[in-house]
Amino acid sequence: MDADSTRVLRLFGLTLPPVFVLLLCYTCLGEHVFGLAYVIGKRLKPRAIAMLRATYFLSTGIVAASLHLALLFSCGNGAGLSACPLVRVKERGCLISTSVTAVYCGATLLLERWANPMLGLGHPTGWFARASAAIGVALTWSCIADHQLCAQLLLLLFTSRRALARVSGLAHLHGLLIKGYTVIHMSRILTGACAGIPRLAVATVGAMVLL
């Protein structure tokens, strides 16, 4: 692991407290705080809303699909599917993909607090949905700081959901595959067959149940 990779991983650890505070604000702020977004949405013409909504789904879907593939190619196990793959987050290519995807997922959550009511995206707006998403992002940040494979698994789940947002059945199936693999990986960590931090592996499975 080179010096640049070490600094990036240390940066994730140092930024975990402010990220946690930011996600806490994201979770606790009610919809009335974003009343301006509702007002703007009501003033936009239906055709403009439909065009902006389609543009939003298309752009976020393309970016999410690109990041999903980048994670698979840069962080995947070249020897094939394994319950104990080589953790490559310390490698430059995998670390870049992981870092960019983590920032993208966190930024998209914050952006959608405005876009959802303004454009009528139809995403869940309740406290539970926001808390589940915030827990997933915070856990991802922690897993990256501890260079755990669980970080890539969470990011793969996030990006697949966004890339396949308009194909709910396929998104659900793909999500189940990722969750199933995560459960197998967790069980191998708990039995000592795989290297990893047990508490983070268990927390990852728990977070995926909510997502």
Q: Sorting pLDDT into bands at 50, 70 and 90, what band is 193?
A: confident
Question: Is residue 77 very low, low, confident or very high in pLDDT (cuts 50, 70, 90)?
Answer: low
Q: Is the pTM of this model over 0.95?
A: no
Q: According to the model, what pLDDT value does residue 186 have?
A: 92
Q: Is the pLDDT reported for residue 79 higher than 60?
A: no
Distances (CA, A) of 200 to 2, 25, 35, 49: 25, 23, 37, 41
User: 84 pLDDT band (50/70/90 cuts)?
Assistant: confident
42-64 confidence digits (pLDDT tens): 888 889 888 998 899 899 999 99
Model confidence at 116, in pLDDT bands (50, 70, 90)? confident
pLDDT digits (tens, 9 = 90+) for 1-57: 567 778 888 888 888 889 999 999 888 887 777 778 888 888 888 898 889 988 998
> Residues 65-93: what's their mean pLDDT?
81
Side-chain half-sphere of 31: how many Cα atoms within 13 Å?
A: 13
